[in-house]
Amino acid sequence: GCVLVVSVIEQLAQWHNSTVKAAVERLCDYIPGKYQIMCHMSRCIDKEMNADVVCHSLRLCKQDPGQPLCHLYSPPKLYPLCELMHPSAFIFLPLQKSFMGFSSVCAFPLLANLCEKIKFVLRNKLPFEDFDGDKFSTFPTLRGYHWRGRDCNDKNTTVYPGRRPDNWDAKSDSNCNGIWGVDPKDGIPYEEKFCKGADSRGVVLLGDSAGAHFHIPPEWMTVTQMSAKSFANLPMAFSDEFDWPQFSEITGFLNSTIGGWTDSLYLRLRKRNRCNHRDLQNISQNVYFPINIAPYLSFSLARNQLLDNPAIVIYATIGNDVCNGERDTLAQMTTPKEMLSNVVQALRYLDTHLPNGSHVILTGLVDGRFLWDNLHDRYHPLGQLNKDVMYSQVYSFLDCLQVSPCSGWLTPNETLRNLTSERALQLSNVLKEIARSEKFANFDIFYMDFPLRQTAEEWRKMGGEPWQLIEPVDGFHPSQIAAALGTGITWQKALHEWPQVLGKENPFNDQIEAIFKDQGGH
């Protein structure tokens, strides 16, 4: 983090031909007030020293005994890192106190309960603000309605998206799809008239950071594009864990503000049947190690087997089972035996909680060799101004720090990249076999490969380049373009091979929109 911030400050000074102090002040003017903790570095930065030098001098970076020296830029020729900038002690102490204070604030008795609630919410992927405890919220972030359909009554636990209507919602909207009341012409409730027998269903994603749509805006570290407007979305991004599920491939519902366009399985299901409005859940998490989804499903999943509509569940942990930042990365990968156990355990739980008539789609793992092949010799946003930082350097820096999102694929070691893809294929084959052989009482089960190859082909036909399908800052996750194109490919496969999954097209959609257009907001 320090290296990124100092790099931006130094490049701001260069781009605007200003002093470092002026560049820091400029950056702090851009960043919303409470996120300015790194703005106290101004006295520690010298144009002659690169970001690695500054951060080691601040002691925010260190070299452990017996470990390599981690650096993003070429090592300086003139200065030993740890002996530079002796005045930094004056800056280090308040900085250290700031960071330590942030982590120890939970020690205060009055805040202890709040901290425990925050930890519980983050661990179990639940809304922080949920007054009735139904796992749905009227607040957008902190796992609110960016992640799940928006609650329309947060004081009534029996009112939430996805449930079957209570008495056909003649008096109020119990399922938050905006359709309620009685037609004065014939006395029939609108929900009964438009949604009865319409095969209403929701969509639930069980995923990883790709499914949550992890994204760091490149304008945050590209000084030629930087302005106060660039950081306007920082508070929202921070409280959504730097995920953007509202634009994601499975549960996106808002027009994208981060490039590309939004197309999602949820939006297509809603267009097919307006009665599906707001019935979405994105239960994904940002981790860089294998995920066993089953243990947290009991806290996270909101589906009542007796009261709610069926759901389409997408099980898509497309990389975590082979991706980790460990030096012995192959030894830390999920084995086929572990994969079988974890997935079957999750499916058995789903069978006891999903309404009858639901569907589960298992998505295979991605072939991550695509990343190195298309990015390693391109300049990272941090390196575009001076042509001095390529993705290969970023990957090596993260790997050295042992925080690489995927040591097996983000590496110059071709043998290791091939072995990682080999394990990914083995695990995909486990999923394929589960879909072929396992049977469950309340849902049928399907398998599809992660459509990276088809997505790249589609994008080439549109005149695009493969590297544009990858998030530019982390060089790892699918971009907004990749997410939107992937949706179309998944939809076409379901339409032709598993039409029962998508439900019927509702012939009353236009009438619903005409009557309830003012109640259709997300």
Please write the tens of the pLDDT for every residue from 441-484.
999 999 999 999 999 999 999 999 999 999 999 999 999 999 99
Residue with tokens 């793992």: 365
Please write the tens of the pLDDT for every residue from 491-513.
999 999 999 999 999 999 999 99
- The arithmetic mean of pLDDT across residues 336-356, rounded, is 97
Residue 96 has pLDDT above 70, yes or no: no
Residue 86 has pLDDT above 80, yes or no: no
pLDDT at 350: 98
Confidence of residue 118 (pLDDT cuts 50, 70, 90): confident
Confidence of residue 416 (pLDDT cuts 50, 70, 90): very high
Annotate 285-317 with b (16+ C-beta within 10 A) or e (fewer).
bbebebbbbbebbeebbbbbeeebbbbbbbbbb
pLDDT at 104: 56
d(CA 252, CA 83): 50
Confidence of residue 40 (pLDDT cuts 50, 70, 90): low
State the DSSP string of 197-254: TS---EEEEEE-HHHHTB---GGGS-TTT--GGGGTTHHHHHHTTTB-GGGSTTT--S
- Give percent of the chain with pLDDT exceeding 90: 74
229's CB contacts (< 8 A; 6+ apart) are none
Annotate 50-78 with b (16+ C-beta within 10 A) or e (fewer).
bbbbbbbbbebbeeeeeeeebbbbeeeee
Poorest-pLDDT segment among 8-22, 38-52, 331-345: 38-52
Residue 97 has pLDDT above 50, yes or no: no
Asked about 7 being catalytic, the answer comes back as no
- The arithmetic mean of pLDDT across residues 136-165, rounded, is 97
d(CA 250, CA 206): 10
pLDDT, greater one: 329 or 116: 329
Sequence ranges of the domains in the chain: 1-73, 202-509
pLDDT at 293: 86
pLDDT at 474: 95
pLDDT at 286: 86
Please write the tens of the pLDDT for every residue from 193-215.
999 999 999 999 999 999 999 99
Confidence of residue 518 (pLDDT cuts 50, 70, 90): low
**DSSP class of 472:** T
> Considering the entire predicted model, what is its pTM?
0.92
Residue 58 has pLDDT above 90, yes or no: no
pLDDT at 28: 86
Cα 399 off chain centre by: 21
- Look at the chain and count its residues: 522
pLDDT at 34: 63
**Residues 94, 100, 103, 108, CA torsion sign:** negative
Confidence of residue 80 (pLDDT cuts 50, 70, 90): very low
Of 57, 174, 209, 392, which residue is the catalytic one? 209
Residue 148 has pLDDT above 80, yes or no: yes
Confidence of residue 45 (pLDDT cuts 50, 70, 90): low
- The arithmetic mean of pLDDT across residues 383-397, rounded, is 96
- The arithmetic mean of pLDDT across residues 299-311, rounded, is 96
